[in-house]
Structure 1
Amino acid sequence: MTRLKNKSPEQRQIESDHFFAELEQQIVKQLREDASSPEGREELIRSTGIHDTELIDELGKLGVTADGLMALRLFPLVLVAWAEQNADASERDAVMTQAVRQGVREDSTAWVLLDQWLQKRPPGIGVDAWKRYTHEMFTEMSNVAQNRLIELTEKQMTSVAKASGGHLGFGKVSAKEKAIIHQIIESMKRQR
């Protein structure tokens, strides 16, 4: 008890931040282990109907479980947030706002994954997994539904890009963000 009294508020805050960062790392590690386990793989296959073994492997490496799959659907928003070399607080808030609109709850695996990807740039394997996932989704969707998903994704990415105000802070989309949005939309169109 006396050790706690002897610490400044800044020291206590640093220790608290460190504790929660370690806790989050443990949660993400456990998600990866669960997603990569034979049971986790089977649950993902059973709940999604995805039979692409490479995709299932990639999802496991990313820590995406069956209940975290919505995070992969929102992965393009994360890429836009990272377009300018860092995902700032307003972009992170914009991504999480879009996640909530899609039904992602704060206590869900999808939330934890999105939060992790917004704090630390996601690995390149995420792009490959997202492309494979999009292709799998599109095989089960009508052309109308595909077009609507592409339009929704573009609108969501643009809202994330505008959240930080572009490069000069005037509510614009920067050239890098525009390039990322264009690449993602073109990739989605090719997944059909």
Structure 2
Amino acid sequence: MNTTKKGSPLDRKAQTDKFFQDLEEQILQRLRSEASSPTGREELLRETGIRDAHLLDELGKLGITADGLMALRLFPLVLVAWAEENADARERDAVMTQAVRLAIREDTTAWVLLDQWLTRRPPGLGVDAWKRYIHELFSKTSDVAQKRLIELTEKQMTEVAKASGGHLGFGKVSKKEQAMIHQVVTSMRNQAE
């Protein structure tokens, strides 16, 4: 039985939700087109120095432009938010708090990408792109910088994991979240070697 009547508050909410979902999909489609275009690839290459053609292709498929690349830095936080099969509001807030700390604003491509990844589980391609990105980044940074980034990422992932677990929803990291944190940190350490 459908309890929503045309013009009812539930119907208007459904229409509004659909409108914003369609708008978000249009924005993401535009980002993918822009990122995959020769101009988008050239700008990403110029801004980042990334020479890995496969990585540039993956970034384009994910809709990551030069100004959205910072979202990829926070991809491990998104992964831990999804470790329990859904990313809840407290985990989302914890990820977005970290984004704000990195000067990612709501009107940026990076914010849109993070928001999308926290709304719908990101594709597996994101993990591959993140690993290639870390490899590229680590090839240009010192051992000290690599170690600090690994430690910071682990700390940020733990904060996201603690956002919704434990007593009254705060403080506990689940086994699935611990496994995800361990997997990401191990991957980063392997890239640093």
TM-score where L is the length of structure 2 = 0.94
- 1:157 equivalenced with 2:157 (yes/no): yes
**Correspondence for 1:133:** 133
- Give runs of ≥4 in structure 1 deviating > 4 Å: none
**Correspondence for 1:50:** 50
**RMSD between aligned residues:** 1.3
Give 1:10 shift.
1.9
**Correspondence for 2:9:** 9
- Conserved in 2, the CA contact under 8 Å of 1:88 and 1:164? yes
Q: Partners in 2 of 1:102 and 1:108 — Cα distance?
A: 12
Going from structure 1 to structure 2, the CA distance change for 1:170 and 1:118 (only over 3 Å counts) comes to closer
Q: Partners in 2 of 1:21 and 1:7 — Cα distance?
A: 20
- Could you tell me which runs of 5 or more consecutive residues in structure 2 were left unpaired when the two chains were aligned: 1-5
Give 1:126 shift.
0.5
Letter paired with 1:7: G
- Conserved in 2, the CA contact under 8 Å of 1:75 and 1:130? yes
- 1:120 equivalenced with 2:124 (yes/no): no
Letter paired with 2:140: E
Letter paired with 1:149: L
Going from structure 1 to structure 2, the CA distance change for 1:131 and 1:105 (only over 3 Å counts) comes to same
**Correspondence for 1:3:** none
**Correspondence for 2:108:** 108
- Could you tell me which runs of 5 or more consecutive residues in structure 1 were left unpaired when the two chains were aligned: 1-5
Give 1:8 shift.
1.7
1:68-114 C-alpha deviation (Å, 9 max, x unpaired): 00000000000000000111111111111111111100000000000
Give 1:170 shift.
5.2
Letter paired with 1:81: A
- Conserved in 1, the CA contact under 8 Å of 2:83 and 2:177? yes
Letter paired with 1:91: E
When the two structures are aligned, how many residues end up with a matched partner?
187
Higher alpha-carbon deviation: 69-78 or 11-20: 11-20
**Correspondence for 2:99:** 99
Give 1:9 shift.
1.9
**Correspondence for 2:70:** 70
Q: Partners in 2 of 1:64 and 1:182 — Cα distance?
A: 26
What does 1:10-25 align with in structure 2 at a 5 Å threshold?
10-25=10-25
Q: Partners in 2 of 1:166 and 1:21 — Cα distance?
A: 32
Q: Percent identity?
A: 73
Give 1:166 shift.
4.9
Task: Give the secondary structure class of the aligned counterpart of 2:83.
Answer: coil
